[in-house]
Structure 1
Amino acid sequence: MSQTLYTPHQLFLQIAEGDEAAFTLLLDKYWNLIYSQSMAYLKDRFKAQDIVQEVFLAIWKSRHKLPEVESPEDYLFIIARNKIFNEVRKKVAEPITDNIEQYYAEQQLRPDRQFDHSEINTLLQDAISQLPPQRRRIFEMSRNEGLTYEAIASQLGISRETVKVQMVKALSFLRQYIRTHIPLYLFLKFFFNE
């Protein structure tokens, strides 16, 4: 590859044509910058490395779009920013989603967190409303009425194993829903208060 093709735009054009050498040059040029940006927010070198890899993988996978990009540097950093934000969103959601049963049971937070609590509870209720009817009923019987799996199975005329499977599916759905729908203000609050 010619030494004259070092501008980001020229590299993008070469990468769009499948030029792996140009891709390597782009990677060498921006790896440390994107890594530093990721580290500044994530404070975890493994996650920061993952972000950088994901950014360059996204570039390679969507290389056919690169000729349309007017500002390659902005494009790279927007991809990186979005991936960092997604990672931080997961981090914000983890305390809720990792202990969703405990969170749902306790429903009490410090007074200074009541607004956050209200928003998260609304989000959780939205997620619960989207469960299939029988799964929602099983979840509510367990969480709202405090019934055991055996008691739920007996009342609904189904096996304990069916109750267990439905609870696992319900909790899995709720975790995913919260991770992807956590309010932006909670994300930003976490992001800027760390």
Structure 2
Amino acid sequence: MKNDKYASHNDESLLIGLRGGDLAAFNILYDKYWSVLLDESYKRLEDLASCEEIVQDIFIDLWKHGSKRDINNVEAYLFTCMKYKVFETYKKNRRTTALIEENSSYYQRQDNTAGDLYDEKDLKSLIEQWVANLPQKRKEIFKMRYLDGLTTKEISDITETSQNTVQNHLGVSIHKLKKLIIQHFLTLLLILFNCK
């Protein structure tokens, strides 16, 4: 149940509450701006997973550091953060795409022995091992979302955990999984180049 003192959902009063570390104020801001920021970032990137991670990072940062930032207009602040993170993601994606395109002809020339070292089965096995080593709660939430296809609301109801907490667990998991896959990809590159 939402706190009565924020019943009007006035951004100024919510910002004051946030500065005082009031979780109720943060949750209302989260509910108010989450989907708007996600929609706006998706218009620019058209990659739902990246956009969800961007918005999640924005709200994690707002909760951790919002009291120390000089925020006068919370809506403008959130949209500025979103645009900056979208731009950074776009730049990173362009670099990754360029790297793949630059080396695609090289990959095609490699013999099957080198390619077989890290095929799709290896990547699947790596991810399964990574999931198995997650903390119990995070593992449970990750499997329900990405293996069972449940929504964050359904997971929240089943685990009796707030939807914000579920989304935080998923945000952290996806961030770490992406790092793992990037490391895997870089390892593959090193192996391929050393096999020449």
**Higher-Rg member (1/2):** 1
TM-score (norm 1): 0.48
TM-score (norm 2): 0.48
